Amino acid sequence: MANETKNHTLEVEPREVTRKANKQLRRNDIVPGVVYGHNVQPANVQVSRREFENVYLRAGSSSLVDLQIGGDKPRKVFIHEVQRSATSHQPTHVDFMVVNLEEDITVNVPVALTGESPLVARNEGMLIQQTEHLAIRALPMNIPPVVEVDISGLEELDQAIHVSDLDLPDNVHVLTPEDEMIVKVTEMPIMRVEEEEAAEEAAEAAEGEEAAEGGAAAEEGEGTSEEQA
């Protein structure tokens, strides 16, 4: 199930400086960026780091954003790519992609797990999420910001939800293979350890019993030989 689309607005300004001069922008909490895509000439822009982070936190890379450059009319864009500092993790550059609202586009949409598995609630199992994003193709206005996956139906160990189990609108096409697993309930690691230890103890006990039986049989054989002698 997909969340309802929300409106996101971001104001940016034309950027005059380029290359090394961008360092000064970043020191002033300004993020350099570029706008490109449908029916636009690539343009350098800049945006307040705080305002960008606030919008990106809510919109991510799969929600449309109304991008206003200076006093121009807002354009529908996706935040296509965000480069970040390896040390501070703050954004260092942003790509805004203008889209054609009448043409399909492919976007990676995050998967959000909802509900709770009864097994997990009772500490009888643990969740393994294998797929965190789905490749989705649709008109820009139909792209869901997130795909919700309800895990409350996972009631047995090794029960899983695959892409083929999703219920999405007909106008949203999932390109991720249908047999790909999204999430699964598996036994707790401590349960596996306890089972392995129990199996080892049982094997050792069985070996001990066999050794004892073998020793007793040997003693009986010796006793018989001595009597015959």
- Three-state SS annotation for 133-152: EEEEEECHHHCCCCEEEECC
Q: pTM of the entire structure?
A: 0.75
pLDDT range class, residue 2, cuts 50, 70, 90:
very low
pLDDT band at 196 (very low <50, low <70, confident <90, very high): low
On whether the CB atoms of residues 7 and 141 are closer than 8 A, the answer is no
- Whether 186 shows a pLDDT value over 60: the answer reads yes
Q: Higher-confidence residue: 1 or 198?
A: 198
Domain spanning 105-186: CATH 3.40.50.1970: no
Closest of 52, 80, 78 to residue 66, by C-alpha: 78
**pLDDT higher than threshold 80 for residue 214:** no
User: How many CB atoms are located within 10 Å of the residue 206 CB?
Assistant: 10
| Average pLDDT score over residue span 122-140 | 95
Mean pLDDT value across the chain: 88
- Distance in angstroms (rounded) separating the CA atoms of residues 93 and 34: 8
Per-residue tokens: 195: 């089972």
Contact 167, 182 (CB under 8 A): no
Query: How far is the C-alpha of 36 from the C-alpha of 38, rounded, in Å?
Result: 7
H-assigned helices in the chain? 22-27, 49-59, 118-121, 189-228
Domain residue spans in the chain? 9-98, 105-186
What pLDDT shows up at residue 219? 59
pLDDT, tens digit (0-9, with 9 covering 90-100), for 80-118: 999 999 999 999 999 999 999 999 999 999 999 999 999
The average pLDDT across 193-206 equals 65
Q: Choose the CATH number for 9-98 among 2.40.33.10, 2.40.240.10, 3.30.465.10, 1.10.630.10.
A: 2.40.240.10
Question: Over 70: is that where the pLDDT of 58 sits?
Answer: yes
Other beta carbons within 10 Å of 33: 25
Q: How far is CA 14 from the centre of its chain?
A: 34
Would you say the CATH fold of 105-186 matches that of 9-98? no
Strands of the 105-114 sheet, one edge to the other: 147-150, 105-114, 133-138, 173-174
Residue 196: what residue type? E
Q: Is the pLDDT of residue 29 over 70?
A: yes
pLDDT value at residue 229: 47
